[in-house]
Amino acid sequence: MKLFATAKPRRYQHVLIYADERRDRLAALEARIRHQLGLPPKEENDKEKGKENEQ
């Protein structure tokens, strides 16, 4: 019987608030695939350009 056992502290887990590593990994993956397939690089404002073309 452990009469004076101390509880182990919780592990520290730092979660970044302002950085989205998953989004960065997905963007790098998409850029690499586009390069391998010979497609032009995706521009940041593709959605906005699509809206302008529809009008």
Q: Distance between CA atoms of 32 and 41, rounded to whole angstroms?
A: 9
Q: What distances in angstroms separate CA 24 from CA 10, 16, 19, 31, 51, one per listed residue?
A: 29, 13, 9, 11, 25
Q: Which residue has the tokens 């520290």?
A: 12
Q: Note the residue count of the chain.
A: 55
Tokens of 4: 């004076």
Residue 49: pLDDT over 70:
no
Give residue 26's pLDDT: 94
Q: Which residue has the higher pLDDT, 31 or 7?
A: 31
The pLDDT assigned to 35 comes to: 94
**Mean pLDDT computed over 17-37:** 91
Residue 48 pLDDT > 60: no
Instruction: Say how far apart CA 39 and CA 55 lie, in whole Å.
Output: 26
Q: Whole-model pTM?
A: 0.46
